Amino acid sequence: MRQTLRVAAYAVCVRDGRLLLARGRDGHGDPEWTLPGGGMEHGEDPHDTVLREVGEETGYRIEVAALLGVDSVRLRLPRGFGRRRDHHAVRLLYTGRITGGELRPEVGGTTDLGAWHPLEEVPALHRVPLIDTALALWRTHPAPGPAAT
Q: Which domains does the chain show, CATH number per domain?
A: 2-148 (3.90.79.10)
Q: Poorest-confidence range of 31-45, 57-71, 79-93? A: 79-93
CA distances from 116 to 14, 20, 75 (A): 9, 4, 29
For the stretch 37-62, pLDDT in tens is 999 999 999 999 999 999 999 999 99
Q: Give me the pLDDT at residue 84, please.
A: 83
For the stretch 100-143, pLDDT in tens is 999 999 988 889 999 999 999 999 999 999 999 999 999 998 65
Are the CB atoms for 17 and 36 separated by under 8 Å?
Answer: no
pLDDT of residue 144 exceeding 60: no
Global pTM value: 0.89
Nearest Cα to Cα of residue 12 among 67, 61, 89, 56: 67
b/e per residue 81-101 (b: at least 16 CB within 10 A):
eeeeeebebbbbbbbbbbeee
48 burial via Cβ count (<10 Å: 0-12, 13-18, 19+): middle
